[in-house]
Amino acid sequence: MKKIRVGIFGFGKTGKVIANEFLNDSQFALTWVVRKGYADHHKYASRLLGYEFDAGKIFSIEDVDNDFFRERPVDALVDFSDSSGVYLYKKAAEAGISIVSAISKYEQEEIDLIKSLAKYNRVLYSPNITLGINVLMVAAQILQKIAPHADIEIVEEHFKGKREVSGTAKRIANLLGLNEEEHLNSIRVGGIVGRHEIIFGMPNQTIRLQHESINRAAFGQGAIFAVKCLIGQPPGLYTMETIIAEMFRQNIPVY
């Protein structure tokens, strides 16, 4: 069977783990990895990650000129770099490449740019690409409808070095119609990969929906799921939670 070709932007804490997940999956061919500087230029991500074959040739962002995507075709571009990568998406989309953006924080201008590309191609943007958190987002919306008077607080915990407020927590607040300033609580300690909790407080009971990414491989598995979901789909803007919500709709038991 023809392999799904993938290119990755970013080879940092998460990008390396994502590359490893794609290398481990026989349905995928990791074609290239783009990183910011010239470290390991033209080496192979596979070799750096301990494999004995060549895959995922490493390029610098400076190499990404007008012809880059046409000369090195892939089926999907998966972005775990930073928000500046967004300005290269148009060239990729024009070359027929599906975009999976996992950047957690964008300015409005960048989100508008992503939306504008959806008319050319499939674009999926998700601040948290794990299956679990997207199930939690759908479940939280259902719970809010069932218990509309519950007090709701969102708690997000991440590693000490994470500067920005969790994009996932902001997305949850937005979905639930909550003011971010008032209902979002952030904790930064040690090496927590990512934990989100939505607390529904009622007079006689408390419901807690919680998701924790134990290992960054959870993001790789989510990215694999996202790329597969986009295959054969029409151009448009996709999110993980709408894909998962559709799965809920199709699988909800009827009593």
Ligand X SMILES: O=C(O)C1=N[C@H](C(=O)O)CCC1
CB 193 within 8 A of CB 214: yes
Q: How many residues bind ligand X (CB under 6 A)?
A: 9
Specify the residue, 18 or 200, whose C-beta has the smaller distance to ligand NAD.
18
Query: At its nearest, how many Å lie between ligand NAD and the CB of residue 161?
Result: 8
Q: Does 127 bind ligand NAD (CB under 6 A)?
A: yes
Q: Is 162 a catalytic residue?
A: yes
166 contact, one of ligand NAD, ligand X, none, CB 5-8 Å limit per kind: ligand X
Q: Is 91 a catalytic residue?
A: no
Catalytic one of 57, 158, 196, 211: 158
Place of tokens 């089926």: 75
Q: Does 34 bind ligand NAD (CB under 6 A)?
A: yes
φ and ψ at residue 216, rounded to 5 degrees: -65, -15
DSSP conformation class of 154: E
Q: Does 219 bind ligand NAD (CB under 6 A)?
A: yes
Place of tokens 């990414």: 213
CA gap 33, 12 in Å, rounded: 11
Specify the residue, 34 or 76, whose C-beta has the smaller distance to ligand NAD.
34
CA gap 126, 143 in Å, rounded: 22
φ and ψ at residue 25, rounded to 5 degrees: -105, 115
User: Would strands 194-201 and 151-158 be described as parallel, antiparallel, or unpaired?
Assistant: antiparallel
Of 5-13, 148-156, 182-190, 197-205, the segment contacting ligand NAD by CB under 6 A is 5-13
Of 34-42, 46-54, 92-100, 175-183, the segment contacting ligand NAD by CB under 6 A is 34-42
Specify the residue, 46 or 166, whose C-beta has the smaller distance to ligand X.
166
List the interface residues with ligand X, window 103-132 (CB under 6 A). Answer: 104, 127-128
Q: Is 243 left (phi over 0), alpha (psi -120 to 50) or beta?
A: alpha
Binding site for ligand NAD (CB under 6 A): 9-15, 34-36, 61, 80-82, 84-85, 102-104, 126-129, 219
Binding site for ligand X (CB under 6 A): 14, 104, 127-128, 162, 166-168, 194
